Structure 1
Amino acid sequence: MEPNDTLSDVPPEAPAAPVRTRPRGRTALLIAAAALLGISGGTAIGYGIQAQRPPSPLPALSQTELAYPAKALPADKVPAPLPASQDHRVKTDGDLRKLIIDRPAGWSEDEDADWLDDGWMSVGVLARGYEVEDGMFEYFLESDIRRVAGAAWTKGEHREATITLTQFSSGTDTTAEDYAVGQRSYMADDDHAGNNGDLVKGSGEGRYYVYGADLEPGYEPFYRARAVVHRGDIMIEINLYDTRPISKKDIRTLVERQLERV
């Protein structure tokens, strides 16, 4: 398991993520590469067309009228700023760790979650959770990743939960959305959840998935559920693991609470 706090400080001794507890990111990487090729090709064609056109005349340097009001609005007519409760940027520009939901009753902090450092996850550890580690590390940096906050809890002897909030600083919300779309794109494959999941209420295209049981001779049954949604510049991922079946309600309750908090 795994989350981050700085881009430059990636401890070499950080443990690799267990294979069974992290999603593969090959599909997300291929989507990102395809998008990059599409942008590059479109840019080249655009330059070629523009080079064949005659130059457009420049507008006059002087204008008869200003495009903005000559006088400032009276103080009583200036719109009031949004309260912090309604201003998304005020919430997400603060301590990202505080946007993680409170630990539910009956759960304890996972003392073995050494992928966390004071509630932060490094980009290097995040990338290690994917099959193409080097490619995903490069993808995150090129996508202007900002920081990753996380939490890890345990309940009873076998149930575990992880939450990660991955925030980007590109100035738009499309990067977090693209990351979430890429992660959901392979979930219906047989070697992942094997189903299309269920929509998370109020999330747009966010979904949660319950995997089939992973049964191997000599091992306890392994069950997993995963949720992938985004809001603004933050991609939210929640995972549940257990040796007993996980219900849809278990994962849905957590992701709906987390989405409301962000």
Structure 2
Amino acid sequence: MNDEEIIPDQGEAPPDAAPKAPDAAPEALAATRPRRRVLRTAGLIAVATVIGLVGGTAVGYGVQAQREPTALPPLNQPDLAHPKPLPKGQRAKPLPASEDLRAKAQGDLRKLLLPKPAGAKKAEYADADGWMDVSRFASAFDRPSRALDHQLDLGIRRVAVTSWAAGEHREVEIRLVQYRASDVHGAADFVEDQQGYMPDEDFAESEGRELKGSSNGRYYVFPVKRKAGYLDMYEARAYFYRGDVAVEIFVVDTEKVSQNDIRSLAERQLGRL
């Protein structure tokens, strides 16, 4: 053997051996260090937080379960104010039938119509018995079949009518249009429909005037209608309702119909209801 130092052959490094650190400055080495330890620390903190929340909730439930249940407040609290029934002598008395519109309207509706004034004559086309057939009532509209369907939808029940002639050419007609009590809006809807087109050109061309003593009534005086070869035509109307009864009043004449004429008729008919 030679006296030379023999260095054994180390061969290739095993595949799982750590890589040899390169020759570099300390700062560069620090930058290339793995962050595995930092990530592991953050994960441990997150797990600890979750465990703390779960543990705290469990402890809270355990403490609450060992406590005595808290009683609910009584339902009949003595401090609450309740309306007390009035003494027997102070209770409201039911209206007599003469003042109860619902009771009066269930009877002969014609009795609620204004009576014919003294000296007035029966109108030429007056209904003989004071009742107007519902189909004839609807025939006065531009589209009778559609108007009839609409009235049936509103719950129309019956129509009482009176009419008379006064002076040389004046005619007055009053209709009480009653709707079924189950259709509480029937009378209101009908009156509001009629009032809705009164401002149109072919009608009163105005909003009319409020009827005193009624929250929904109005009366209208139409502009005069003139046509060659015919007498001038004057017209006035009133619409209002009480309960399930809608009221229509028509006045036509060849002489002027004043606001006082239609207002007086409407107020007196309102008083009958």
Output the TM-score relative to the length of structure 1: 0.68
Counterparts of 1:172 and 1:129 in 2: how far apart (Å)?
Answer: 23
Cα displacement (A) at 1:205: 2.1
Cα displacement (A) at 1:109: 1.5
Which structure ranks higher in relative contact order (CA pairs < 8 Å, sequence separation ≥ 6)? Answer: 1
SS in 2 for 1:140: helix
CA RMSD of aligned residues (A): 2.3
- Contact 2:221–2:259, Cα closer than 8 Å, also in 1: yes
SS in 1 for 2:149: helix
- Is structure 2 residue 121 aligned with structure 1 residue 83? no
Identity percentage over the alignment?
Answer: 42
Give 1:234's aligned residue.
245
Counterparts of 1:143 and 1:129 in 2: how far apart (Å)?
Answer: 17
Cα displacement (A) at 1:77: 8.7
Match of 1:180 among 191, 204, 210: 191
Q: Which amino acid aligns with 1:257?
A: R
Offset from partner CA, 1:17-49 (integer Å, 9 cap, x none): xxxxxxxxxxxxxxxxxxxxxxxxxxxxxxxxx
- Contact 2:220–2:238, Cα closer than 8 Å, also in 1: yes
SS in 1 for 2:187: helix
- Is structure 2 residue 120 aligned with structure 1 residue 139? no
Give 1:60's aligned residue.
none
Offset from partner CA, 1:143-186 (integer Å, 9 cap, x none): 22111000110012200000000000142542101100000001
The within-5 A match list for 1:188-203 is 188-203=199-214
- Is structure 2 residue 160 aligned with structure 1 residue 153? no
- Contact 1:143–1:170, Cα closer than 8 Å, also in 2: no
Counterparts of 1:118 and 1:140 in 2: how far apart (Å)?
Answer: 22
Counterparts of 2:156 and 2:142 in 1: how far apart (Å)?
Answer: 19
Give 2:261's aligned residue.
250
Offset from partner CA, 1:167-219 (integer Å, 9 cap, x none): 00142542101100000001011111111111001111211000011000010
Size of the aligned set, in residue pairs, is: 191
Offset from partner CA, 1:59-116 (integer Å, 9 cap, x none): xxxxxxxxxxxxxxx9989864321233221111110000001112332221x225x2
- Is structure 2 residue 78 aligned with structure 1 residue 98? no
Counterparts of 1:172 and 1:138 in 2: how far apart (Å)?
Answer: 15
Counterparts of 1:159 and 1:205 in 2: how far apart (Å)?
Answer: 27
SS in 1 for 2:192: helix
Match of 2:121 among 83, 108, 124: 108
- Contact 2:155–2:183, Cα closer than 8 Å, also in 1: no
Counterparts of 1:173 and 1:109 in 2: how far apart (Å)?
Answer: 34
Unaligned runs of 5+ in 1: 1-73
SS in 2 for 1:163: strand
Q: Which amino acid aligns with 2:173?
A: T
Counterparts of 2:249 and 2:222 in 1: how far apart (Å)?
Answer: 13
Output the TM-score relative to the length of structure 2: 0.65
Match of 1:224 among 222, 235, 244: 235
- Contact 1:160–1:241, Cα closer than 8 Å, also in 2: yes
Larger Rg: 2
Q: Which amino acid aligns with 2:212?
A: K
Q: Which amino acid aligns with 1:148?
A: V
Counterparts of 1:244 and 1:258 in 2: how far apart (Å)?
Answer: 23
